Amino acid sequence: MSEIKLERIDDNRWLLPQTGKMKVPGIIYANEKIYQLLKGDESAKQVANVAHLPGIVNYSLAMPDVHWGYGFPIGGVAAFDLESGIVSPGGVGYDINCGCRLIATNLSFADVKDRISDLTTALYQHIPSGVGSTGSVKLSGKDEKKVLEEGAKWAVKAGFGLQEDLEATEDGGAMTGADPEQVSARALERGKQQLGTLGSGNHFLEIEVVQEIFDQTAAQAFGLRKGQIAVMIHSGSRGLGYQICDDYLALMVKHIQETKIELPDRQLACTYLNTTRAQNYLAAMACGANYAWANRQLLMHRTRKIFEKTLRMAPRELGMRLVYDVCHNIAKIENFKIEGKMKKLCVHRKGATRAFPAGHEALPARYKSVGQPVLIPGDMGSGSYVLVGQEKAMEETFGSACHGAGRVMSRTQATKVSQGRSISRELADLGVLVMASSKGTLREEMPEAYKNVQDVVQVMHDSGIAKKVARLKALACIKG
């Protein structure tokens, strides 16, 4: 952050003043503790870089989990005018619609405390994870295109879940405007065998227990109670989404001169929203988003079956139901009040999630009275938080909140720091059983590689963007 000077606005916000060719100022959500961490990171410079892009509205924003990313920082939020603004694949990210799905159950900790090992082993054995992992659902070309168009709806129609799952999924599990014709043959090939797989890196499936309730009204609406067993799934669009991003970044880099857009960083390669190239990218991106929703739907279905078989329980007795599925890494056309008038904007959320308040038209009927569940996973040793979106998010952050704890170490740094340590044993000492296909993954994802999720969540809570509802502790985690 060497040449970037931030000015404190209040206890949870820092202003990045508009200088040079920046079109707008920047705002970073951080308390003093997180601000100190920013000093060793270049993400504030990326917030400034995003502010140079044409048609950006109000501010270039960063959530408290912000860290260095490709072009845009991870934890970055930026909204663009549809006439004068742009869309940038780097502002969405490589893992299109990487997201989280929280599943509640009728079980209490006492019901499973002696079966955690059995459940974890069964999940690890039957849910494909790791780099290049393939699923049991092999798609024909025709079926894959249906997945790209219909998302989680395809999975439910194919018998992998229930209609009520779709009602608790952002956008009903299917983004409109998806056009498989805008997806390359290479991307389609990569997606054919990866549906229903967890992937690698920071993707995970966790068994968690609700440890604390902060907001009884919202918790009740979400179907959460203290001592309850839940499952958190974090995965995305796998190789298909990665390839879509790669293809369109290459295309936009190739046409940088044609757009005449001055970029402080070539990784911000973009195109104006009112062009055919932008519409083609958005149509392909929607395909990646729909693939991710279908992927998480299949992962949930398989998790249900594994719990039923391992615990020898009927579905009604187990009561495994979707609380919500939220995506991050997406660009969406949404309505916001700008200078007193409602306006359609293209909101880029990269490592950020929606945090819509009570009454918002996009919310399922069951959550209209309280607001949207906001799912914030932490590191392997700490578990997760559930928050609820607030009206202030619509006023300040284009209806957005953070999406996780946020890294403080690169994967290379984490691997170096953890040399000679047994991360699985350290986590076992914390009461968390971990299974992973690679010791290298555990070292890259060790708890110290991330900010303290409690600090990150507190910034969102104290700033009024999203209020704390529940804290969940990890009991077991499977990773690729």
Q: Three-class SS of residue 173?
A: helix
**What is the per-residue pLDDT for 4?**
84
Distance, in Å, from the CA atom of 174 to the CA atom of 158, rounded to the nearest integer, reads: 15
User: If you write DSSP's letter for every residue of 189-222 in order, what string do you get?
Assistant: HHHTT-TT---STT-EEEEEEEEEES-HHHHHHH
Domain ranges of the chain: 7-479
**What is the per-residue pLDDT for 39?**
85
**What is the per-residue pLDDT for 91?**
98
pTM confidence score: 0.97
Identify the segments of the chain with pLDDT beneath 50: 2
Exactly one of 301, 360, 403, 461 is catalytic; name it. Answer: 403
**What is the per-residue pLDDT for 376?**
98
pLDDT tens for each residue of 251-302 = 999 999 999 999 999 999 999 999 999 999 999 999 999 999 999 999 999 9
Kind of pairing between the strands at 330-338 and 228-235 = unpaired
Distance, in Å, from the CA atom of 14 to the CA atom of 36, rounded to the nearest integer, reads: 12
Place of tokens 């930026």: 78
Indicate if 255 belongs to the active site. Answer: no
Quick one: which of 175, 173, 154, 176 has its CA closest to 165? 173
Distance, in Å, from the CA atom of 220 to the CA atom of 222, rounded to the nearest integer, reads: 5
In sequence order, what are the residues at sequence separation of 6 or more whose Cβ sits closer than 8 angstroms to the Cβ of residue 136?
A: 128, 196
**What is the per-residue pLDDT for 457?**
98
pLDDT tens for each residue of 42-82 = 999 999 999 999 999 999 999 999 999 999 999 999 999 99
**What is the per-residue pLDDT for 134?**
78
**What is the per-residue pLDDT for 381?**
83
pLDDT tens for each residue of 84-104 = 999 999 999 999 999 999 999
The listed CATH number (3.30.1490.110, 3.40.50.300, 3.40.50.1580, 3.90.1860.10) that belongs to domain 7-479: 3.90.1860.10
